[in-house]
Amino acid sequence: MARDPRSLRNLAVLGHTGSGKTSLAEAMLFNAGAITRLGKVADGTATSDYEPESIKRQASVSVSLLPLEWKGVKVNLLDTPGYFDYACEVAAALSVADAALLVVDAASGVQVGTGQMWQEVRRRSLPCLIFVNQLDRDNTEFLKVLADIQAKLDKRCLAMQMPVGAADSFQGVVDLLALAAYTGSPPQKAEVPAALSDRVTELRFKLVEAIAEQDDALLTKYLEGEELSTEALVNGLRTAVRRAAVCPVLAGAALSNRAVQPLLDALAELVPSPVEAPIPTPPRLDGASLVSLKPDPQGQLAARVFKTTADPYVGKLSLFRVYSGVLSSASQVWNASKGTDERIGQLFLLRGKNQEAVPQVGAGDIGAIAKLAATGTGDTLVGSRDQSLVFPPMELPKGLFTMAVHPKSKADLDKMSTALTRLVEEDPSLSLRRESATGEMLLTGLGDTHLEVAAERLQRKFGTEVVLTLPQVPYKETITTSTKAEFKHKKQSGGHGQYGHVYLEFEPLPTGTGFEFGEKVVGGSVPKEYVPAVEKGVVKALAEGILAGYPVTDLKITLYDGSYHPVDSSGMAFEIAAVQGVKKGLGQAQPTLVEPIVNLKVMVPESLTGDVISDLSGKRARVLGMGQQENLTVIEAQAPLAELLRYAMDLRSLTQGRGTFSVEISHYEPVPSHISERIISEAKAAKA
């Protein structure tokens, strides 16, 4: 039987890494009776961080689904990583959440990640609650953190609770609407401590005023001096939260399990159910009228897959949210994104790594399906092909850091391609391509940690060991002056000999032109049937230049004369003569090494512009211009690709993760002589 969508809450738990999101989620599960023992991140026993990569790093590396029941309401917690490299996991959680819980470390206040998460929540117009965590630690001051939140995030973030005690003496919280204290674990209701009376009155006044402003009837009563009931204030706050007009700030300590139950009460009361939350509007595939979905279990099926995992035991596991209708086990659906039928096997409800088989998942709820054949992350599942609707694509961050992937052994080489493809299917923020110029397989992600974890997963899930290295720069060689070269290939070894004789002319071409082959032989000195062999030899020789073995480009080679032997000449002989003639000519034409130059667009906070430009100068970059976009400075520059292989890491370090950039290959330019000498000597040493 599908659950009533009004009793569901879908909540993304967000925050800067180390703010205690996973510990808070664990405490909520424990208080709700979903688990019987309070696990710890440091011990590797937290329900959410069950993957070996998470346990090793003592930090979440993927979104985890953690359902719990609290006072007749089912809350689907989506615990997300706080580290920059896992922004894709945050995006996946936010794509199916109806609200967010932003966790702030009481000792550190608003950090870079806190601000980034807040911006994402605001951009998506999601209701949000803030939980100031770890108030049982030393040097924590709630009012100082509250002021930091209001200054750096939004003045509409208003306290809903006031802590009782601090650090070792932290006991619980005062509910500013009910004017009651809840202290101890489990919490017991008590009188508001007299010492907090003035501060409670002040904070309550600001909250009540903000609530009243959202409701004309409440505002009239408030202005007339009438006392507003707790029930009326809670209802008013619920409306204000759903409009994102007020963001309640709560307080507590997850590790010592203090004030977690009042947080659960607030989530059940204030977070919108799927019935009250806006649903993404899916346009019809044929571009006709838009579809308005309602979270009705009796409606037509519409669901979206928001995450795919490769489970070593179950196989591919697809996490989905149902927006309308009911998805049942052992049924058939239509994948509107791929245009194909999909057979549904067993459905599961997940809690971390634990799977509970269920017959169906209804509107508003989140579940998982094992072993879907064609369906990937972001795909829309509907009841039949007549329902030609598809959800908008998921907004996922673009990878900026690239490394080359090499198999560790011959056995790994055979499995690597398939394993990498499955890995990218599991994590859409990874992308895979082969660089034709160097022959390397390149894996792009959001940072070095992201790619390290990807390599660990390759070994654990697919038994494939790989080595990650910085990619080779696709240097090229070219010539700087015109020249002519002649080569005669003559060999006699009994019977037919070999004879091929060519005269070649070399001309440099403009950058980006590539290679051209010409022929202007007169008088038949080289018979027409041997010209293709000469061209083949020229192309073969240009694949490996004489300086450092890089391909040669931007030149024209013309066959203008030669000679042949009526018996000993052959296509092979002329091909060999052409190869040797090209090598001879390249040596005479003042060859030089050229490197790829990229167009670089960097977006950074205004205060960091000088640091970023200074860093770019050290990377041989040319700043072309600067502009403004909202509160950011946009720097446009050109720089050698060789200097930017680790730029994703450098910029993150320089800007504390607040800077972003994009690159695209522009053209090739000569490498400065001192750098060219180093590259050539390294290439020769590697070859030797």
**Residues with Cβ < 8 Å from 34, sequence gap 6 or more?**
66, 67, 68, 69, 351
Structure tokens at 174: 């005062």
Q: Spell out the long-range contacts of 115-123 with Cβ–Cβ below 8 A and sequence spacing 24 or more.
A: 115/152, 115/153, 115/658, 116/657, 116/658, 117/14, 117/15, 117/16, 117/90, 118/153, 118/154, 120/14, 120/90, 120/91, 120/94, 121/14, 121/94, 122/154, 122/244
Q: In what order do the strands lie in the sheet with 498-508?
A: 483-491, 498-508, 555-563, 515-519
* pLDDT in the model for residue 312: 62
Other residues' Cβ atoms within 10 Å of the Cβ of residue 382: 22
255-272 pLDDT, tens digit per residue, is 999 999 999 999 999 999
CA distance linking residue 175 with residue 207, whole number of Å: 11
Whether residue 71 contacts residue 86, with contact meaning beta carbons closer than 8 Å, is answered with no
- Please work out, in degrees rounded to the nearest 5, the angle formed at the alpha carbon of residue 577 by the alpha carbons of 576 and 579: 65
Phi, psi of 491 (to 5 degrees): -145, 130
CA distance linking residue 544 with residue 477, whole number of Å: 9
Q: Which residues pair with 109 in a beta bridge?
A: 105
* pLDDT in the model for residue 485: 97
Whether residue 639 contacts residue 576, with contact meaning beta carbons closer than 8 Å, is answered with no
Whether residue 559 contacts residue 503, with contact meaning beta carbons closer than 8 Å, is answered with yes
DSSP state of 109: B
The size of the chain, in residues, is 688
Which CATH number applies to 279-397?
2.40.30.10
* pLDDT in the model for residue 67: 97
* pLDDT in the model for residue 283: 66
Whether residue 104 contacts residue 131, with contact meaning beta carbons closer than 8 Å, is answered with yes
Whether residue 471 contacts residue 403, with contact meaning beta carbons closer than 8 Å, is answered with yes
Phi, psi of 432 (to 5 degrees): -130, 135
Given a cut of 50, the residues of the chain with pLDDT beneath it are none
Architecture, CATH, for domain 594-684: 2-Layer Sandwich (3.30)
**Residues with Cβ < 8 Å from 513, sequence gap 6 or more?**
554
Kind and range of the H or E element at 478? strand 476-479
Kind and range of the H or E element at 318? strand 315-324
Whether 594-684 and 401-469 are alike in CATH topology: the answer is yes
CA distance linking residue 310 with residue 135, whole number of Å: 38
CA distance linking residue 544 with residue 55, whole number of Å: 47
Phi-psi category of residue 7: left, alpha or beta, with phi > 0 → left and psi -120 to 50 → alpha: alpha
Phi, psi of 131 (to 5 degrees): -120, 115
Fold of domain 477-589: Ribosomal Protein S5; domain 2 (3.30.230)
The domain segmentation of the chain, as residue ranges, is: 5-195+246-270, 279-397, 401-469, 477-589, 594-684
CA distance linking residue 417 with residue 422, whole number of Å: 9
Q: What residue has token string 């015109």?
A: 482
Q: In what order do the strands lie in the sheet with 8-15?
A: 64-70, 73-79, 8-15, 99-105, 128-133, 247-251, 157-159
* pLDDT in the model for residue 494: 66
CA distance linking residue 533 with residue 559, whole number of Å: 11
Whether residue 500 contacts residue 576, with contact meaning beta carbons closer than 8 Å, is answered with yes
Q: State in Å, rounded, how far the first CA of the chain is from the last one.
A: 71
Structure tokens at 633: 């400075």
Q: Pick 5-195+246-270's CATH classification: 3.40.50.300, 3.30.750.24, 1.10.10.10, 3.75.10.10.
A: 3.40.50.300
Question: Strands 180-183 and 247-251, how do they pair?
Answer: unpaired
Q: Of 31, 33, 106, 24, whose CA–CA distance to 64 is shortest?
A: 24
For residue 381, count CB atoms less than 10 angstroms from its CB and return exposed for 0-12, middle for 13-18, buried for 19 or more.
buried
Fold of domain 401-469: Alpha-Beta Plaits (3.30.70)
182-198 pLDDT, tens digit per residue, is 998 889 999 999 999 99
Q: Of 262, 284, 277, whose CA–CA distance to 321 is shortest?
A: 277
CA distance linking residue 228 with residue 221, whole number of Å: 7
